[in-house]
Amino acid sequence: MFRKKWHILIGLLAMLVVLRIIGVAPGQILRRRLEQRREERQNQAAANATVSPRGAASCGSELNLGFHLQTFSTGLRAAVWYPAKQAEASFHYADGLLSALAENAPAADCGEYPMVVFSHGFGGCGTQSVFFTEALARAGYIVVAPDHQDAGCKVDQPRERGLLLHRAEEPFRRPGKWDDSTYRDRRQDIEIVLNEMPDDPLVGRSLDRAHIGGAGHSLGGYTIAGLSGAWPSWKDSRIKASLLLSPYIKPYSDKATLRSMNVPVMYQGGTRDITITPSVARTGGAYAQSNPPKFFVEFFDAGHLGWTVLTCKPYGSAPGCDEQAPLARLINQYGIAFFDRYLKGRPAEILDRPNRQLADFRYDETRHSD
């Protein structure tokens, strides 16, 4: 018996030596097996997913979801969601997520709609957060999400296997090296969207130019904060409200430039987002430094990628995600309520009270005089 156990131990040690020689760590094998199992579950969810496309809608009723891809004068590509009346059909995004929408339909001619520009995270793309961008459009907004130069996927192409992320312009761990030249190309992308969307053939005539908001995840949060005034040289006064989702905000909080951001702001974070949320929530952090009106919403069990389609993969479809994933539902509720209040002037009671479903909720709407 002892000899048999000894042979097993020798065999395991030999296998570890071989794996080390060929450059494969045992942890990599375990992670890969876990990834394969997760992909199998996600593929099964996608295979079982169903949606219920709506028939043609009319003004005064619940409108449908329109969608098209836009190419701007610089070659910048963006996904665009908006209210539509045309009947919906089943639709698969490039990453395989199922939805129901009216592709290439004109915007509903039922009035004007505020626009929200969405900036994706580092290595993400314009369709990285479709459960939110769809919900926002169904709530009566035109949502435009461009692919920045650092995109790791495309609005019309899936992420390539084995694709490595671009190296960041400056290390994320050294926010002191960041200044208003860092990721200036992202600012230029948003400017192109703001300048050219009024000429969009499908939605331009329905765009409410006086009520425009910005939303961004991670590096996208950095981008939208900069355009809201955190980098004063980036400020674009057309942006009237900013929703920052687990934003990379340290370059601004470390340099104390958030006081230059004079639009309503909502920060969203999560209890498992240990790299970014603490920099927003801590004493003297980004929330404390920001001007009112301001909000901080922290979700239980949300990690840094909780605002992306990874939250939706177990459900196989964007509508299923909104209906069944508690995190997606809360992200949508608070994000839409924020924009409803500051872009549409509508009351949003959810913003005026605590919620036991949240790990933390803070707000201050009193503008202080200097």
Give the tens place of pLDDT for each residue, 236-260. Answer: 999 999 999 999 999 999 999 999 9
Which residue type occupies 327?
Answer: L
What are the structure tokens assigned to 181, written together? 């030249």
Q: Are 28 and 20 in contact (CB under 8 A)?
A: no
Q: Which CATH class is domain 49-364?
A: alpha beta
Amino acid 244: pLDDT? 99
Please state whether 303 falls in left (phi above 0), alpha (psi between -120 and 50) or beta: beta
Return d(Cα 15, Cα 165) in angstroms, integer.
Answer: 31
Distance from first CA to last CA of the chain, Å, rounded?
81
All structural domains of the chain with their residue ranges: 49-364
Q: How confident is the model at residue 154 (pLDDT cuts 50, 70, 90)?
A: very high
What are the structure tokens assigned to 197, written together? 């969307």
Give mean pLDDT, residues 14-27: 47
Amino acid 57: pLDDT? 97
Amino acid 366: pLDDT? 83
What are the structure tokens assigned to 60, written together? 């005064």
Return d(Cα 296, Cα 258) in angstroms, integer.
Answer: 15
Amino acid 326: pLDDT? 96
Give the tens place of pLDDT for each residue, 169-208. Answer: 999 999 999 999 999 999 999 999 999 999 999 999 999 9
Q: Are 224 and 354 in contact (CB under 8 A)?
A: no
Give the tens place of pLDDT for each residue, 110-134. Answer: 999 999 999 999 999 999 999 999 9
What are the structure tokens assigned to 32, written together? 């890969």
Length of the chain: 370
Amino acid 123: pLDDT? 94
Backbone torsions φ then ψ of 109, nearest 5 degrees:
-90, 50
Q: How confident is the model at residue 40 (pLDDT cuts 50, 70, 90)?
A: very low
Write the secondary structure of the chain as one string of H (helix), E (strand) and C (coil).
CHHHHHHHHHHHHHHHHHHHHCCCCHHHHHHHHHHHHHHHHHHHHHHHCCCCCCCCCCCCCCCEEEEEEEECCCCCEEEEEEEECCCCEEEECCCCCEEEEEECCCECCCCCEEEEEEECCCCCCCCCCHHHHHHHHHCCCEEEEECCCCCCCECCECCCCCCCCCCCCCCCCCHHHCCCCCCHHHHHHHHHHHHHHHHCCCCHHHEEEEEEEEEEECHHHHHHHHHHHHCHHHCCCCEEEEEEECCCCHHHHHHCCHHHCCCCEEEEEECCCCCCHHHHHCCCCHHHHCCCCEEEEEECCCCCCCCCHHHCHHHCEHHHHHHHCHHHHHHHHHHHHHHHHHHCCCCCHHHHCCCCCEEEEEEECCCCCC
Judged by average pLDDT, the poorest of 81-85, 187-191, 313-317 is 313-317
Judged by average pLDDT, the poorest of 45-59, 142-156, 213-227 is 45-59
What are the structure tokens assigned to 230, written together? 């955190």
Return d(Cα 162, Cα 32) in angstroms, integer.
Answer: 12
Which is nearest to 264 in space by CA: 194, 187, 368, 338? 338
Return d(Cα 334, Cα 349) in angstroms, integer.
Answer: 10
